[in-house]
Structure 1
Amino acid sequence: MTKPTIGFIGVGLMGHGMGLNILKGGYPLVVVAHRNRGPVEDLLANGATEAASIAELAAQCDIIHICVSGSPQVEAVIAGEGGIAAKAKAGSIVVDCSTADPVSTVQMAEMLATRGIAMADAPLGGTPANAAQGTLSTMVGADDEAFARIEPVLKCWATNIAHLGAVGLGHKMKLINNFVAMGNAALLAEAMALARKSGLSVEQFHKLIGSSRMHNSFYDTFMKWTLEHDENAHRFSITNAHKDMRYLSNLATSVGAVNPVQSAIRNNFGAMESAGQGERFVPMLADFIAATNGLDREE
């Protein structure tokens, strides 16, 4: 049986590894130019083909992945001039792996449906290292028929696949997931600063917290920057974290939820981005909170 042709728009930190694993799964892969040519060239060397535009990619693919920075970019890829909606064939499926605003996701799905194109939201859990290893998690919003068609492809790059229900639920769960994660980041950063102001060292903090019930895999990647200065441990930017927390605020407003803790978390990332540090990574929030407390980064 001929395997469907897979398109991939957004072969950046996460998309590159995902694309490689799709190729390893034996699927034809079509990619489109990215501002960083390195990942594109590597995928081409491993058997992918390159389309000259999104329109060209959409016209030849059966399942189209999108992995971009947020809803404005997703909307441009889908509904913009020469976008997926205008050029994809009826019966194809769009799989949005971005972390996006669920309100926008549902609108895009409804618009695509009028053209006979299905949509699934399949945001990611994990790091670029997980993407390269094919061990990401994904939370999927899709109808049963679309999910059955995309599941074999998802298995190329994810080992934990949760089908949650209708389109939009994946992005809702992802925002809630990131709320918990970024909440951990904000709490750890503030707790370490408080410990240091109180005369305790980061090593003492880590010896206790890192061996207690509060220890988890997020703690490990977050602390690698402070303890080992490993900037590759969690390559998720402050700008993206702030964007996700703004989307979560929109979600809370849309469902009438009260979430005062999230406002404080969002403001931590907003303050760091406003200070011109949006391109730094989430574990580096510890440096920013330390500096606001008059502390230098502990060497």
Structure 2
Amino acid sequence: MPETIGFLGLGLMGHGMARNIVEKGYALTVSAHRNRAPVDDLVSRGAVEVKSVREMAERSSIVFLCVTGSREVEALIRGKDGLKAHLKPGSVIVDCSTADPTSTVALAEELAAVGIALADAPLGGTPVQAAEGKLSAMVGATPETFARIKPVLDTWAGAKIVHLGGPGDGHKMKLLNNFVSLGYAAIYAEAMTLATKTGLSPEIFDSVLRGSRMDCGFYQTFMGYTIEGNREAHKFTLANAFKDLTYLESMADAAKLVNPIGNAVKNSFGMAVATGGDGAADYVPHLPEYVGRANGVDMTPRKLRT
């Protein structure tokens, strides 16, 4: 029988992913959380709206989750009217969130005991790439589960799909990936603040790094705010970045690894979230403004100054 897909978490990334799933021929069930606009759009494209997780579970053979983190994933799976209680044996849950691998492994074992498979397939890319079906996916799953879900992943992960190993391995790799990218962000923010405080503008800083060996795709989207004034150049919140780095710390602790650089990067984002009025809503490329405020330097992009 053809797979029937449920999708929970229609935010910046999830909406584009779900749109590709339904537009490429899969029966899709969705549910609203706070924002009705993505649900209305998907229903107009052929999706069916349900009012509860239980109803979605009863209609779906594969359910995708694209929510904030492990706490939300655990609630959707373990809740009284959640997925574990109402999915049929033989169903699959695909967690596309960035989550704590320790939680993922525990959930996979718990679900396997009732005949439900769990795969973790965290994302690489931006909301624009989600809408275009050009994300990448880092997948942790048994070989059998991976083979089953891959045709659905293909609808939205047109850039790259890598099967890394068993459940939990996708989330481990995602945290490592985010550590590297957010580490870049913390370095760029501090380096530009130091440059500004010593008389070198961000534009001068960029004129040297852009096109050099230090340039990369992440650098260009990060600098889209400071240089171009584009507030939405990279729509990943400071709060989510900080959350991911706390998961990295947990992963390192579980492995008994000393990670001073990881903690330094975490503290840079923690400072922004703790001290800024919009710290939970601002995006990663806005970090230089927070580092600047802590050092008496105005890092507001020149194009946005009045």
Aligned to 1:25: 24
Partners of 2:228 and 2:301 within 8 A in 1: no
Which segment is superposed worse, 224-233 or 259-268?
224-233
Structure 1 residue 80 corresponds to structure 2 residue 82: no
- Which residue in 2 is equivalent to 1:250? 250
Tell me the C-alpha RMSD between the 2 structures: 0.8
Q: Kindly, what percent of the aligned residue pairs are identical?
A: 53
Deviations 1:25-82 (A, max 9, x none): 1001000112111111111111100111000001110110000001000000001110
Q: How many angstroms apart in 2 are the aligned matches of 1:211 and 1:91?
A: 50
- 8 Å CA contact 1:31–1:48 kept in 2: the answer is yes
Structure 2 CA distance for aligned equivalents of residues 25 and 211 of structure 1: 38
- CA shift, 1:232, in A, is 1.5
Q: Distance in 1 between matches of 2:30 and 2:268?
A: 36
Structure 1 unaligned regions, length at least 5: none
Counterpart CA distance in 2 for 1:28 and 1:91 is 18
- Which of 260, 285, 288 aligns to 1:286? It is 288
**1:186 partner amino acid:** A
Per the normalisation by structure 2, the TM-score is 0.96
- Superposed, 1:115-126 pairs within 5 Å as 115-126=114-125
Partner Cα separation in structure 2 for residue 71 and residue 231 of structure 1: 28
- Counterparts of 2:210 and 2:2, CA distance in 1: 46
Deviation at 1:258, TM superposition (A): 1.6
Matches of 2:89 and 2:182, distance apart in 1: 39
Match of 1:12 in 2: 11
- What SS does the aligned partner of 1:162 have? strand
Letter of the 1:60 counterpart: R
Q: Secondary structure at the match of 2:173?
A: helix
Count of equivalent residues? 298
Counterparts of 1:102-181 in structure 2 under 5 Å? 102-159=101-158, 160-181=160-181
How big is the shift at 1:3? 2.6
Opposite residue 67 of structure 2, the aligned amino acid is V
Task: Describe the SS at the equivalent of 1:161.
Answer: strand
**How many angstroms does 1:202 deviate by?**
1.0
2 CA distance for matches of 1:28 and 1:49? 8
Distance of 1:140 and 1:228 partners within structure 2? 35
Compute the displacement of 1:213 (Å): 0.4
Structure 2 gaps of 5+ residues are: none
The DSSP-based 3-state class of the residue aligned with 1:228 is: coil
Task: Give runs of ≥4 in structure 1 deviating > 4 Å.
Answer: none
What residue number does 1:213 align with? 213
Alignment of 1:191 with 2:226, yes or no, is: no
Check conservation: 1:34, 1:40, Cα contact below 8 A.
no
SS state at 2:73 partner:
helix
Query: How far apart, CA to CA, are the structure 1 residues paired with 2:273 and 2:290?
Result: 10
The separation in 1 between residues aligned to 2:170 and 2:63, in whole angstroms, is: 17
Is 1:125–1:136's contact at 8 Å kept on the other side of the alignment?
Answer: yes
Structure 1 Cα separation of the partners of residues 102 and 272 of structure 2: 27
The secondary structure found in structure 1 opposite 2:227 is helix
Inter-partner Cα distance in structure 2 for 1:116 and 1:52: 25
Distance 1:48 1:230 in 2: 33
Query: 2: CA distance between counterparts of 1:102 and 1:177?
Result: 14
Give the superposition deviation at 1:84. Answer: 0.2
Aligned to 1:99: 98
SS in 2 for 1:3: coil
Match of 2:230? 230
Asked whether the equivalents of residues 122 and 139 of structure 1 are also in contact (C-alpha less than 8 Å), the reply is yes
- Say whether the 8 Å CA contact 2:8–2:67 is kept in structure 1: yes
How do 1:46-65 and structure 2 match up within 5 A?
A: 46-65=45-64
One-letter identity of the residue aligned with 1:138: A
SS at match of 1:94: strand
The one-letter code matched in structure 1 to 2:281 is E
